[in-house]
Amino acid sequence: MKIDGATRLFGIVGDPIKQAKTPALLNPLIQKSGVNAALVPFHVPEEHFIKVMGGIMSLGNLDGLVVTYPFKGKCLALVDNPSERARQIGGINAMKREPSGRWTGDMFDGIGLLRAVAVQTKVAGSKILLIGAGGAGSAIGFAFAEAGASSITINDLDPGRAEDLSERIRQSYPNCETRVGPALAKGHDILINATPIGMKAGDGLPGEIGALSSSMTVVDIVPGSQATPLLREAAKAGAKLVAGTAMTEGQASAILEFFLE
């Protein structure tokens, strides 16, 4: 990759940031596009968020930022033009400076996963079981409702959070039947684990999911190269599998399109 005085910058902001895989994913795609640009990590200490972000966003050769934990909600307040999707979810994971100097923000967590799942199975008309109603779960729920899922059953350790997400999706997509329910796989076409369960050694399944079947698509957004307990169980049942790496790769391509459009 050629770096010179004319190179435009994209960044990724988070606290911490050393775990970020986005630079390794996006820089080869940027190079392949032929654009003279590079993406670099910025460690923004949370206690200095406002001060540091003001400086970064003032850089004359910065064209966009990827946003990761814990700033997705905070960065929503920094952009001039949040997408409708970002407003629904309450956060962004990418923001870009327009030629006018104003900033546009969008959320691609759900879109990235949707792209990966759509390769395996038809989403429109499907019945979804979504385990986890946090930030990632919210983005995923809205993305799958927008893509035409017929129903989404939401399960979370906090029933109030699950009900809140269910109601928000219902208001935006009334044709998608949303409900709060148990984490039982039976009766669903696609099961999605949007919790961190499976990330640590010794973790089990993200709930008492019951029997899996070969007709299902089972998704686990937990990152890493090792199969999670959920994916191992799904493999035994002969289900279609979508791992967290597929979601990350889908996000990367969607964010680059957003930056360069």
**Residue 60 DSSP label:** T
Counts of helices then strands in the chain (DSSP H, E): 9, 12
Q: Residues with Cβ < 8 Å from 161, sequence gap 6 or more?
A: 133, 134
Distance CA 66, CA 38 (A): 12
Which strands form 81-82's sheet, in the order they lie side by side?
37-43, 8-14, 62-67, 94-97, 103-106, 81-82
Distance CA 135, CA 141 (A): 10
Residue 71 phi, psi (nearest 5):
-110, 5
Q: Residues with Cβ < 8 Å from 158, sequence gap 6 or more?
A: 133
Distance CA 249, CA 127 (A): 24
72 is catalytic: yes
Q: Which of 72, 74, 186, 200 is catalytic?
A: 72
Active site residues: 72
